[in-house]
Amino acid sequence: MMSYVYLTLAIVSEIAATSLLKLSQGFSKMFFGILALVLYGLCFFCLSLSLKGIQLNLAYAIWSGIGLVGTTVLSILFFHEKVTLTSLLGITLVIVGLVILNLSQKIH
């Protein structure tokens, strides 16, 4: 159970760090850039702790997939970035892939 808590913390900190990279404007706003680096450090620390109880392939798939979807949602809501039908299809395929991977782990 704690492994999934750590994975959730890794995902949240990765999404926040990536959004802060946007706000750092290429590290010209150092506060946001440094905060992004700190959050990336927290992200990888939590991800490493999650691997004590979750298989690497599953943890990485969940981390990267939810990170992709979360970052996309934040970029639309806060940075007013455009999303195309093709990108929505790609995100949907990632979600379907995560579900299939998660189900395949439970079968074994």
Look-up: residue for tokens 């290429």?
A: 26
Look-up: residue for tokens 């970052």?
A: 71
Mean per-residue pLDDT over the chain, rounded:
92
Selection from 79, 73, 97, 87 nearest residue 15 by Cα = 73
The pLDDT profile of the chain, 108 residues, written as one tens digit per residue, is 899 999 999 999 999 999 999 999 999 999 999 999 999 999 999 999 999 999 998 899 899 889 988 999 999 999 999 989 998 898 899 889 888 887 887 655
Q: Could you tell me if 24 and 32 are in contact, meaning their C-beta atoms sit under 8 angstroms apart?
A: yes
Rounded Cα gap, residues 14 and 62, in angstroms: 12
pTM, full prediction: 0.86
Amino acid 57: pLDDT: 87
Selection from 48, 42, 45 nearest residue 17 by Cα = 42
